[in-house]
Amino acid sequence: MTRLLLAAAAVVLASAAPAADPLLYELRIYTAEKGKLDALNARFRDHTLKLFEKHGMTNIGYWVPVKNDENKLYYVIAHKDKAARDKSFADFGKDPAWQAAFKESQKDGSLTTRNGIEAIFLTATDYSPPIKAGKGDGDRVFELRTYTASKGNLDNLNARFRNHTLKLFEKHGMTNYGYFTYPKGLNKTGEDTTLLYLLAHKSEDAAKKSFDTFRADPDWVAAKKASEDKAGGPLTEKEGGVKSLFLKPTDYSPTK
């Protein structure tokens, strides 16, 4: 009887645990030619998003930097896997509707700079909130944060986020949107060192206040010290180990 009860409890616990997110995510960064960011956004708004969905890609979110001196567009889409991703883009590229929209938009020259499209493949961490398109309560800004772990410390960095950081972010008014690492073999570098995540804030000022109170929180101070004592030093690289970029959703973004 005891064994049966233990087995039943194990089944209940397993069913209650969140399933790992199996999707392949793709962060794409476009650099528009000077004066052509509006035209690039118009092409996405009027054509690209619906054609992505037609060919099996899921639109997650589209953003531009709050301070956009480099004419950038950032977006995240989701795929079943790499093979599905490659087929979707191949079919999308051959679609007559896309070819017509592309040709029309390029009549006065390319909308993006030479080599102006970067793709980064991502997988959700086991502690990430479910990643899905959606709108918050009122206007929000998003913060893209990229961490480069010090040598051998990516697992330790993830453990600190899993066990401490996410709940402390929420405590101090930040919304955890999505947490990602690089899948094996799909990006040129970073698979053993990079953690990338998105937070949502009411504003840039609200973000600053939240981080100020977060960093002063005794629970964070203790967790940071314990993790660094265990690892023998900081979990991120000293130079450029933490990068932050504030983004605002485009008017056509599924996530705002």
Amino acid in position 135: K
Helix (H, G, I), strand (E, B) or coil at 17: coil
pLDDT of res. 20? 83
pTM of the model: 0.91
Handedness of CA 193, 170, 160, 77 (dihedral sign): negative
Domain map (residue ranges) of the chain: 24-123, 128-249
One-character DSSP codes across 115-173: EEEEEEEEEE-TTSPP------SS--EEEEEEEEBPTT-HHHHHHHIIIIIHHHHHHTT
pLDDT of res. 8? 47
Say how many CA atoms lie within 13 Å of 188 toward its Cβ: 2
Q: What is the CATH number of domain 24-123?
A: 3.30.70.100
Q: Do domains 24-123 and 128-249 have the same CATH topology?
A: yes
pLDDT (tens place) for every residue of the chain, 256 residues total: 555 444 444 444 444 445 689 999 999 999 999 999 999 999 999 999 999 999 999 999 999 999 999 999 999 999 999 999 999 999 999 999 999 999 999 999 999 999 999 999 999 999 999 999 999 989 999 999 999 999 999 999 999 999 999 999 999 999 999 999 999 999 999 999 999 999 999 999 999 999 999 999 999 999 999 999 999 999 999 999 999 999 999 999 999 9
CATH T-level topology, domain 128-249: Alpha-Beta Plaits (3.30.70)
